[in-house]
Amino acid sequence: MARHIHLVRHGEAHNPDEVVYDSLPGYPLSDLGAVQARSASRFLGSQPIVAVWSSPLQRALETAASIAKRCGLAVMVDDALIEWSLLSRWAGTPWVDLATSHPGELEAYLEHPNHLGFSDESLEDLARRMVDAVHRIDARHEAGDVVVVGHQDPIQAVRLALTGRDLSTLHTDKPTHASVITLTPGTPWREVAMWEPEQV
């Protein structure tokens, strides 16, 4: 069991057309996102990090690489840390067009994310996938701190699930780009800190 698990949301992605990018290729960190990732790496560099795990998506890998370099480690990838598959329905669509292309779906997501009949992966399924991944990663490291880099909704879902909070509060106090949520494994897990880079 690790001392702490640091859940990190990736830095801002380069997305000039403001589309839902989900798992589409070609969305690396923006210039600001790279700055955010370096800021997170400086913060985490002072911790006893023994492993850095990441989603396989480019924006997460680039964020994880910045952290891992600072800590003198290699990035390890777990495919289960991927984005919520809900977003694949909207991938490539500008956010401003969702109301027309998928009527009522964005509103439902914002109002009751735990009851989305149109999603092939429910919020509960997402939380279960992420909890299983974090437990699996935690079990591989018997000491020190472990970094897990992923995406906003999956990070928030596992944060809520591990600490015993209601998944219906998904949109409350969500992690910002390159923020770090620090959890202590246990029964239940405890959230001990949340750090955010300075907003530029």
Domains of the chain: 4-195 (3.40.50.1240)
- Whether the pLDDT of residue 104 is over 70: the answer is yes
Task: Answer yes or no: pTM beyond 0.85.
Answer: yes
* Amino acid letter, residue 122: S
pLDDT (0 to 100) of residue 198: 84
- Whether the pLDDT of residue 85 is over 70: the answer is yes
pLDDT digits (tens, 9 = 90+) for 140-168: 998 999 999 999 999 999 999 999 999 99
The pair phi, psi for residue 136, each rounded to 5°, is -65, -45
pLDDT (0 to 100) of residue 114: 96
